[in-house]
Structure 1
Amino acid sequence: MSVDWIGFGYAALVALGGAIGYIRKGSIVSLAAGLFFGLVSGYGAYCVTHDPKDVKISLFSAFILTIVMGMRFKRSKKLVPAGIIAGLSLVMILRLVFLLL
């Protein structure tokens, strides 16, 4: 059983992004969303750690973040944070699909 360090790192980055959004802009929505999706992604990484084929939760959170942050990036054209999170989430989706193969 190997630990899903990439998944846990992604979860920490998402949660940290929400905290930074709150600190810089005072956005409670960013804080709540970042912590929520960070926790969901962390739980997904925990599930992948115990069963490498159990990617449903991780895939769900990465998919939602790809769509939401991708739409924000398209609208705002700002790379930080929307473009980076959308890109990282897309990479996570590809990685999780690869784990299923």
Structure 2
Amino acid sequence: MAVDWVGFGYAALVSAGGIIGYVKAGSIISLVAGLLFGLSAAGGAYLTSQNPKNVWISLGTSGTLAVVMGLRFLSSWKFIPAGLMTLASGLMLARIIAGMLRRQHRS
């Protein structure tokens, strides 16, 4: 079984974003949200590593972050952190959907 290194890297990015938000701005909400979503992304990456068809937690996590951070980016136009997380989450979402479509065509 292949380890989902991209998924684990995404989880680390999300967690690091929450920690940096707390350190720079003292935002407890950023810390909690970053760690919870990071843990969810890591759990999704682990499940995907065990079974490549089990992408639902990763899909939900990246989709939720893409929408939430996308709305934040549109209201603030600040690339860091909202734009970066929107971009990373959108790319992760596209990767997951592309993988689902590839598996569907092989079946």
Instruction: Report percent identity of matched pairs.
Output: 50
Coordinate RMSD, CA, aligned:
0.5
Q: Which residue of 2 aligns with 1:97?
A: 97
TM-score (norm 1): 0.98
> Number of paired residues?
101
Aligned to 2:105: none
Q: TM-score, normalised by structure 2?
A: 0.93
Unmatched segments (≥5 aa) in structure 1: none
Structure number with greater Rg is 2
Q: Distance in 2 between matches of 1:93 and 1:14?
A: 14
Query: Could you tell me how far apart the structure 2 residues matched to 1:52 and 1:96 are?
Result: 10
CA distance in 1, matches of 2:54, 2:94: 15
Cα shift readout 1:13-66 (whole Å, capped 9, x = no counterpart)? 000000000000000000000000000000000010001111100000000000
